[in-house]
Amino acid sequence: MQTQPRKSTNLSLDGALLSEAKSLKVNLSRAAEEGVRRAVAQVRAEHWRAENASALESSNRYVEDHGLPLERFRQF
């Protein structure tokens, strides 16, 4: 993965959490970046599920009505 240039930003954090993080020498920039990365991935996944809900429903309905398309070739 190619890294992008870093940008400065201002964040408001819970004071007690910030103090504890500093005392534990947590790299705040990296921790915040990882948290934002996880949040972005979660929201993207939610959007994908919402955008594809009808196709997923249709596929599930087909399997319920007709079984798996290649089930006869399963070896387990």
**CA gap 13, 32 in Å, rounded:** 10
**Poorest-confidence range of 47-51, 53-57, 72-76?**
72-76
Indicate whether 15 belongs to any domain: no
User: Token pair 């005392």 is at which residue?
Assistant: 23
Report pLDDT for 1: 64
Q: Is the pLDDT of residue 31 over 80?
A: yes
Indicate whether 27 belongs to any domain: yes
- Print the domain residue range for 25: 20-65
pTM of the model as a whole:
0.71
Indicate whether 72 belongs to any domain: no
Q: What tokens does 22 get?
A: 């500093």
With CA atoms as reference, report the closest residue to 28 among 12, 44, 39: 12
Number of domains in the chain: 1
For residue 22, give every residue at least 6 positions away whose Cβ sits within 8 Å of its Cβ, in sequence order, or none: 28
Indicate whether 52 belongs to any domain: yes
